[in-house]
Chains A and B, each alone.
Chain A
Amino acid sequence: MQIVGMGVVFNRGRGVQTLEKALEEGWVPPTDSTYSVAEDTLKDKSVLKEMRRADKFSKMACFAAYDAFVDSGLGNEVKSSLGIILATAFGPHVTTFRFLDDILDYGDTNVSPTVFSHSVHNAAASYIALVLGARGPTLTVTQFAHSFHQALIIAQSWLRERRCEYILVGNADQCGVVMEYICRQKLRLAEDGKIKPFLFSQRPCAVPGEGSAFFLVTEGKTEKCYCSVLAQTVGTQDMYLLDSDGMVGDERCYLKMAKGGIPVNSYTPIFGSMLTQSSFSCAAAALMLKNQRHYASPVQDNPFGANICRLTEEKETESVACVRYNCGIERSQITLKR
């Protein structure tokens, strides 16, 4: 299937151009302890008019999906056959905790129905359908580290079954104070805010992040086509994009890819640590293939001498594989081809 539109919401802002700029600029330290999405990023009233009461989780997902649709250049005529698949590791847990605040502070009989309805995992996908008027199938899935991979597999199946002609497939995850606390207890957090993806350490450092990336995919090519994309588990490509971001502990498993001499890269220091990081890697890879341009690894600490991408430069690339391991050392791979 082909990626024909993209939208991203992350720490540095919103949109494909912002992503390109971030990849060109490289690493900059986060303004606080996490790579959070600024409230100003989510203030576009043309999108918000249909979702004024939405929480941050839904807004991030909606803005990314909306931008992916606009980026594709497709018109309203496709909306009757436009499906949505959202992948998330933890869903709108910040809103869930707000709802628990209600229960604890006011009792079971005095909780907010608005907060409750936004605490449901599929609220974000429903808002996307509402904002875009998409009447195709809508699905939300969660599989922790492999959530986005699973979403892509379903997207591929749906297109082959002709369940719909176009699909917005993407991720969303949020990092609130409770999640940051959990990360701090369970993980080793980088005090300088710098993820070092090529240390391949048994105890890597993480810096929690949040955001959303969406892709408009379809079987055929359109005028604006980035590349093809395929969810699989194995396969050798021209370059590996590693999701090593400190989120699942031991990262020695990534080392074997770095040892093969094939170029490796990782943009996790730009986005922050997220279990659904793969979608951001996928967005970076799509730009790399469309622009035929390598973007330098934002953090280049490289004790194993891996063949990392040191410079930003024009360079021909046919294929890129985004690789993620979970804590059970199970691998998922998303392969993008020119």
Chain B
Amino acid sequence: MQSGNVVISGMGVISACGKNISETRDTFAAGRRNGSETTLFETMLKYPVFEVKGFSGGDGKFMRTLELAFVTVRQALEDSGLEDKLNDFRIGVCLGTTVASQLNDIDFYNEYKNTGSASLCSVERYLKGNLAEAVSKKIGVSGLACTVVNACSSGTDAIGVGLSWLRADLCDIVICGGADELNRVPLAGFGSLGVVSDSLCKPFDKDRSGLNLGEGAGVIIIEKEGICRKRGKKTELFLRGYGLAADAYHLTTPRPNGSGLETALARAMDEAGITPSQVAFVNAHGTATPDNDLVEGKVLARVFGAGLKFLSTKGYSGHTLGAAGGIEAVFTILGLCGGWIPQSAGFEKPDDTIGISPVTQKTTISGQYAISTSLAFGGNNSAIVIGKE
């Protein structure tokens, strides 16, 4: 059922690293980390976070998550040259999120709890705010729309679903990725789990002490190669493979031997028709929690060997939850196209129990393929292979 190649014809990104591709590239080149205390809401929690500074979030008609998504979708459509051609194709929208899927407005609930009734303004906003549906309406396309809510792998899985839609000939083009805002509820939740660091995060470092939350959106446009060539758009980027596998182990802890991630990587590389030695670098999930980095690092060492070039970009963006897979797909493309990856921010001391270390400086890479991984609550493991040919 694999009908032809799938190309990547456009991308857009917004995060603490910058409000577009250019600003993001500059942040990576400078090795800058824009973490700080949160300014978006009142909280007793003083953890550092990675906010998109200077982003107003619109007029309140939509959730901040949606506004972040709208910005990146516009960037991606412009990049792909599709802005004025949306009616010419069957265009699907598949996006991942966590916050936008939850009816978790504290003010609404507090009012209801105290009085037994409450204004439904925030409920109405939520009901208008299914991420994929809202983006479809915003840009005026009527193809398939689906919002993936697979926790922290949502963005990567949304890209994987988009790939499946194209292979099944359900769409010509798919806008896919993820978006999530920084929100008080998950900040409190992750804090309660004891996995948030009170300093800037240190992915894969021996002294890592947890993650920092972030926000943003990352979107890529994937399409059938024939459609892309026919409309005269040039691109050298391909979405080559996707793998997804469950740990079936625990709600919040990864399976210690990492076999789920290993299966996801194997499936993604098998679809791409490549071997581990052909992978130029891996943009790892690397949250900086003790468990995630130990399991993920060991799998990377086992699958790719100690010479693998890899990094976690969460030291620059924070953990953006449902957006992470989309944002990190864009970051991966930047590395593959630019021929370099930034130092893995926050990493200083190797952890012997992991047995492999990320890059410690701006590093030249060569090769045609890169992988982005996502691991999630509930034991979801996802990987995509991006090719440059």
State the A residues within 8 Å of B (CB).
84, 88, 90-91, 93, 96-97, 99-104, 107-109, 111-113, 116-123, 125-127, 129-130, 132-144, 150, 153-154, 156-158, 160-163, 178, 181-182, 185-186
Contact = CB atoms under 8 A, between A and B. Distances in A.
A132 B194 CA distance: 29
Nearest to A104: B110
Contact of B377 (A122, A129, A158): A122
Interface string B188-199: 111111100000
B112 A150 contact: no
A200 to B, nearest CB: 23
Given A144-B130, A161-B168, 13 more contacts: A88-B149, A104-B109, A108-B45, A108-B188, A111-B188, A116-B192, A118-B251, A120-B151, A122-B377, A123-B251, A130-B379, A135-B259, A160-B168
Contact of B148 (A100, A140, A144, A178): A140
Contacts of B249: 130
Contacts of B190: 116
A174 B145 CA distance: 23
Interface of B: 1-2, 43-45, 98, 101-104, 106, 109-110, 112-113, 116-118, 120, 123, 127, 130, 132-133, 144-151, 157, 161, 164-165, 167-168, 170, 184-185, 187-194, 244-252, 259-260, 263, 267, 376-380
Nearest to A116: B189
B102 A91 contact: yes
A161 B267 CA distance: 12
B250 A130 contact: yes
A143 B135 CA distance: 13
B153 to A, nearest CB: 9
Contact of A121 (B101, B116, B191, B192): B101
B194 A122 contact: no
17 contacts: A93-B102, A103-B106, A104-B109, A104-B110, A108-B187, A113-B194, A116-B192, A117-B377, A119-B102, A119-B189, A125-B150, A129-B379, A130-B251, A139-B157, A157-B164, A160-B1, A182-B120
Given A107-B44, A119-B189, A138 B246 contact: yes
A122 B109 contact: no
Contacts of A127: 251, 378
Name the residue among B2, B110, B161 with the largest chain A CB count within 10 angstroms: B161
Contact of B244 (A90, A108, A163, A186): A163
What is the interface of chain A mostly: helix, strand, loop, or mixed? Answer: helix
B384 to A, nearest CB: 13
B148 A123 contact: no
Given A103-B106, A117-B251, A143-B133, A185 B192 contact: no
B258 to A, nearest CB: 13
Contacts of B44: 107-109
- Closest 8 pairs (CB-CB, A-B): A126-B378, A116-B189, A121-B149, A157-B164, A137-B244, A160-B1, A113-B192, A138-B246
Name the residue among A93, A117, A133, A156 with the largest chain B CB count within 10 angstroms: A117
A136 B189 contact: no
B193 A116 contact: yes
A102 B110 CA distance: 11
Contact of A134 (B103, B161, B248, B250): B248
A139 B252 contact: no
Contact of B164 (A104, A117, A135, A161): A161
Contacts of B104: 96, 99-100, 119
A121 B150 CA distance: 7
A107 B188 CA distance: 9
Contacts of A143: 130, 132-133, 145-147
B100 to A, nearest CB: 10
Contact of B252 (A101, A117, A135): A117
A159 B130 CA distance: 27
B193 A113 contact: yes
Contacts of A160: 1, 167-168
A100 B185 contact: yes
A120 B377 contact: yes
A102 B189 CA distance: 10
A121 B131 CA distance: 15
A137 B245 CA distance: 4
B193 A96 contact: no
A99 B185 contact: yes
Contacts of B245: 135-137
Given A123-B251, A126-B379, A139-B157, A117 B193 contact: yes
Given A122-B380, A141-B147, A136 B164 contact: no
Name the residue among A119, A121, A127, A181 with the largest chain B CB count within 10 angstroms: A121
Nearest to A186: B120
Given A103-B106, A137-B244, A181-B117, A122 B189 contact: no
A112 B151 contact: no
A136 B113 CA distance: 41
B192 A104 contact: no
B189 A140 contact: no
Contacts of B161: 139, 154, 157
Contacts of A90: 103
A173 to B, nearest CB: 12
Nearest to B165: A157
Contacts of B148: 139-141
Contacts of A99: 104, 185, 188-189
Contact of B106 (A100, A120, A142, A153): A100
A138 B164 contact: no
